[in-house]
Amino acid sequence: MKQTQPTQHEVREEADFLQPLSIGCGLDVHSKNIEGCIMAKGQKAALRSFGTITRELRELCAWIVDAKVEAVAIESTGIYWYGIYQLLTEAGIAVKLLNPARVKQIPGKKTDTADCKWLCKLLMNGLVQGSFIPQGPQRQLRELTRLRFKYVNLGSQTENRLLKILERANIKIRSVMSNITTKSGMAITRALAQGETDVEKLVALCKGKLRKKADRMRQALDGLLTDEDRLQLRLLIKDQEYYFSQIDEVERLTESIAKDHFAEPVEIVDSIYGVGSTSAISIIAEIGADMSQFETADKLASWSGLSPGNKESGGKRRNVRTIKGNRYIKPMLVQVAWTAVRAKTTYWSAQFYMLSKRMPAKKAIIAIARKMLKMIHHLLLSKKKYVELGAQGYWDQVKNFAQNRLKPGIA
């Protein structure tokens, strides 16, 4: 019998069924105790409670190993799952870290006392999927890049507090310079914190192009700083210097690990216009260099939280917000996308211009970030560097696509 080709609206894909387990374990992890449940076909459920110190975690691990458990399900609760996860993986036990939000979507009786039993049932029936947990150097790199992310946020908060104090004292240097963390901005802020009131001496600290704005700066520096304001400025400047020093130290460590273990993937990601070396290291730390854990680029985008949610009813697709995903890589890719579209001659800027004509700019930049992530997935699979086609390259692609759509026989 002749096989027919699938039509435009017909989707064919291989059915994939998760096979139930013969014996499994569910763990409900808390800060001071862990509830465990081992279930097997034809046997009564075994329930035990353990503490969270290392000796008790080893006892829990031995209990699971002795029962010959095939897999363990753990609901990710803060950082409390790290210890038992590490011990179980070292013992060769398959561990699935479950997203609490997805577990709650599955109907069932879910109380504090029955959590471990419910998780075990879900695991044994193949109703849950584990999260992506990196190992080895990637895990070390991820911990450091996330620590840098925290320090950068703390530095931004400190900068905002500095600006708040200056604005409250009616010192309007923010209206003259775009960023007070420059050499000129920090020199003026330090002088103000030390009690300098001579406007001419403060204006003399301006460097570079800022000297051309000396008249505006004199007017902006005429403020009403009090002794309490100066004390707060001095304390905040110390905090900011500390955060910057910590960021520099973390960056040295991440660059060393990336050079030893991820030199080629970082170089590939860094070749994309708008992505710097620091951003490339952070992206590799989150998604890794091996794309086998993400079957398709779309699944990677969904895991990162850059895909739109699905809400279809009566054959109509409704507009919904992007789904929740990795909260570290998503803002980083959005920042990289803004950098790429600001240059008017790039492929990304032309694509952003096309998208922003029919949707808000913030929504269009999410689309650009998603396309960049899918490009990263493709480049890491093929182990090729990015080639910038330029804005003209994008418009040529649009023109060729339009011409092919107009040809007879092409849908």
pLDDT band at 405 (very low <50, low <70, confident <90, very high): low
> What are the structure tokens assigned to 11, written together?
């989707």
Share of the chain above pLDDT 70, in %: 87
Q: Note the pTM of the prediction, 2 decimals.
A: 0.73
Neighbouring residues of 127: CB distance < 8 A, sequence distance ≥ 6 = 18, 106
| Residue in the block written with tokens 């590490």 | 86
Residues 80-101 have a mean pLDDT of 85
- Confidence (pLDDT) at 17: 45
The CATH number of 140-260 is: 1.10.287
Looking at the predicted structure, is the pLDDT value of residue 87 above 60? yes
> What are the structure tokens assigned to 243, written together?
């955060």
pLDDT band at 107 (very low <50, low <70, confident <90, very high): low
Q: Show me where the domains of the chain are located.
A: 23-124, 140-260, 263-406
CA dist., res. 72 & res. 81, Å (int): 12
**Helix (H/G/I), strand (E/B), else coil: 323:** coil
Among 213, 186, 212, 218, smallest CA distance to 199 is for 218
- Confidence (pLDDT) at 270: 94
- Confidence (pLDDT) at 157: 93
Query: How many alpha carbons lie under 13 Å from residue 225 in its C-beta half-sphere?
Result: 28
CB atoms within 10 A of CB 95: 21
Contacts 24+ apart (CB under 8 A), 182-186: 183/207, 184/208, 184/210, 186/237
Cβ burial 11-23 (10 Å sphere, 16+ → b, else e): eeeeeeeeeebeb
Among 327, 372, 329, 325, smallest CA distance to 348 is for 372
pLDDT tens per residue, range 191-205: 999 998 888 898 899
Lowest mean pLDDT among 96-105, 185-194, 272-281, 285-294: 96-105
pLDDT band at 280 (very low <50, low <70, confident <90, very high): very high
**33 forms bridges with which residues in the sheet?**
51
Of residues 62 and 321, which shows the higher confidence score? 62
- The DSSP annotation for 274-313 comes to T--HHHHHHHHHHH-S-GGGSSSHHHHHHHHT-SBPP-EE
Q: Are 203 and 214 in contact (CB under 8 A)?
A: yes
CA dist., res. 338 & res. 126, Å (int): 41
Of residues 9 and 147, which shows the higher confidence score? 147
- Angle between helix 277-287 and helix 297-304 axes, rounded to 10 deg: 100
CA dist., res. 344 & res. 228, Å (int): 46
Among 49, 249, 42, smallest CA distance to 144 is for 249
Lowest mean pLDDT among 101-105, 111-115, 161-165: 111-115
Lowest mean pLDDT among 2-11, 64-73, 395-404: 2-11
CATH 3.40.50.450, domain 23-124, yes or no: no
pLDDT band at 1 (very low <50, low <70, confident <90, very high): very low
Of residues 11 and 391, which shows the higher confidence score? 391
pLDDT band at 335 (very low <50, low <70, confident <90, very high): very high
